Structure 1
Amino acid sequence: MKNVQRRVSSRRHRPTLQQYYKPGDKINEFHAHDDAVTSLAFDAPFGTLVTASTDNTVRVWDMNRYKCVGLLEGHLSTVKCMQMHDGLLVTGSQDASLKLWDLSKVGHTVDIGIDPSPLLQSFESHVDEITTLSFNSDTLVSGSADKTIRQWDMTTGHCMQTIDVLWASSMMSSHIGSIADFGSASSWQPRAPVSADYPFIGALQSFDAALASGTSDGLVRLWDLRSGEVIRKLVGHTGPVTCLQFDDRNLTSGSADRSVRIWDLRTGGILDSFAYDSPIQSLQFDASRIVCTVKQNVVKVYDRVEERHWDLGGGVEDPESTKTIGCARYEEGYLVEGGSDGSIGVWAI
């Protein structure tokens, strides 16, 4: 395989247009796909955007010009999840494979003798669709409908470790006898029944040897990748966990039970929680906000500083809109959302 190294995009200027917008302003909207957008990722405001859809295409966009500069072709079915890091992109598909792409090779002329294909590697040990993934630096982990989490060697494409989630979790329970695992009475709450309407592994994030997973039984599990063992369970959701994110202190999770919960990673206790009227599909948080998509025509924003909720998106302008927003990501005050009608909306946040 080609050497996987940090790649620097050819576009590295700081946009100035963004400073003229205030939170809630629409920057642009355009039609990107012929069917619903399933996933998206971008690197910087007005930078490179990648979108996937149930029309089975993956498109790369130059957001300075709002122009499609290329297609990522190779998957045999719909891409359901993706993540971008340092000019590289990993996609996970219903065809049970993951693929690693070099975005610097999309939409640019390459020198003779250099492989023009942006595809760097395929990862193909799962036996059912990929439902979630986490990719940073040289670590890639994926979750699948085959109920396993796999860790990958990004150079060779080989699977380094396979974690059977239910088996590993049962081993932990039998080992410690389900002792008030994590210093909180909430550990004794009943788990949610497993739902066939949601993927068993709905969310993953890894950092170094730390891994967090969210599953359809309502549990957030914290793992040590070195041993492949569960080290803590966060119990509280009453529906499938669909999304999560953690930093060095907190983990935020969203669920089909319509709630968002903020956990203290040191104690396993719940610091805060709130709920919306619909199941949580995706979330992203930082020190000042939590952004969620909830199967509605708006993106939900929670201002953590002022402790207030507000809506962002086309549904604010047109409450009767039947479009639903399925995914959203933001960076540096710039948010991109993907709709059920194949549209992409760009907003200041």
Structure 2
Amino acid sequence: MPARLRCNAPYPLPAAMTAAAEDRTLLCPRASSAEAAWVDATQVIGAGSLGDVVRHFTGQSPLAAATPGEVTLDTSPRDLRDVKGQERAKRALEIAAAGRHHLIMIGTPGSGKSMLAARLPGILPPLTPTEALETSMIQSLCGLLDEGGISRTRPFREPHHTASMAAIVGGGKGAKPGEISLAHNGVLFMDEFPEFPRTVLETLRQPIETGEVMVARANAHVKYPCRFMLVAAANPCKCGYLTDPARACSRVPGCGEDYLGRISGPLMDRFDLRIEVPPVAFTDLDLPPSGDSSTAVAARVDAARQIQADRFKDTPDTRQNADVEGKLLEEIAAPDPGGKDLLLRAAERYGLSARAFHRILRVARTIADLAGEDAIRRPHVAEALSFRISAKVAG
């Protein structure tokens, strides 16, 4: 087996991972060496020209090992306190961020859905070293790493609703990663959710469950990770004012049923948290900032995620509460008798699916983690149910 692996493709980080797996030294262009050097399990040598390579191998002027680029951590200037009112929506964002739960917000235009979603990066914890490397490998395939630097900021991707299937899921020339993979370990925000093509929305169902996607093309079959948190925003109907008593929709109730009906039941069932975002009164806009700052919320989210990191340290495929399933879910999310009774009665009354039942348990586990409690009690289950069952959102 040769001792060195040459990298002449624009994917230095994956090439370095391959070199490490095969116990080789990686020789690559100097411009790519800082990126490749992040894989500390192998030696990376960067050459500026073919002459440098010749002089290196002949011993005339050996090349030094490359050093990794800078680690950056962007801090979001957007604060949750900038959002007037919407305390319930802010609470939903906190729970979603703490457990990586999928969230859908439904409300009239201008109610603050996009504004709320834009503040998610400010309450998410930095990427762990393992997550940063995973995320950067995907970004490397798309040429998005800046001068070999790796960021510990979680991705926040917001594709437009006109984006193609290949742009969202992956594909095109070379079967490149799509938005769902670029959002790996971060957030995929899909505004105007029902406006996305039905085929695109339905394709999300399998990646949401498995955390990976297979991009199949005639000349390539590539599997990419896509463990993302899906945050969706939608108007209640085509005109947007179905739920606004001051500007009543003229096509009640058919307008809303037709519009939100573009989101299939199986896809809607995969949202752990469903909330209605009502319009904010003009008088409330003059009120001083209220609620906790993003810094305070981020501290609670980080503490809850640390609890989960300790809980799942022996199960590498499970990182957050949203990933738990099977026997492990039964062990860590068993509610007390009062909570179990409440959940069973709600499941019977509202006809909850098995998937919905388990997702409620996961959310209740996250709510208990945010409160720093080991046991899941009736109030935790009640709050989880309140974000799942809504006459206007449940669909």
Common topology (TM > 0.5) = no
Q: Which has the higher helix share?
A: 2
Larger radius of gyration: 2
Question: If the TM-score is normalised by the length of the shorter chain, which range does it land in?
Answer: under 0.3
Greater share of strand? 1
Query: How does the TM-score come out when normalised to structure 2?
Result: 0.24
TM-score, normalised via structure 1 length? 0.26
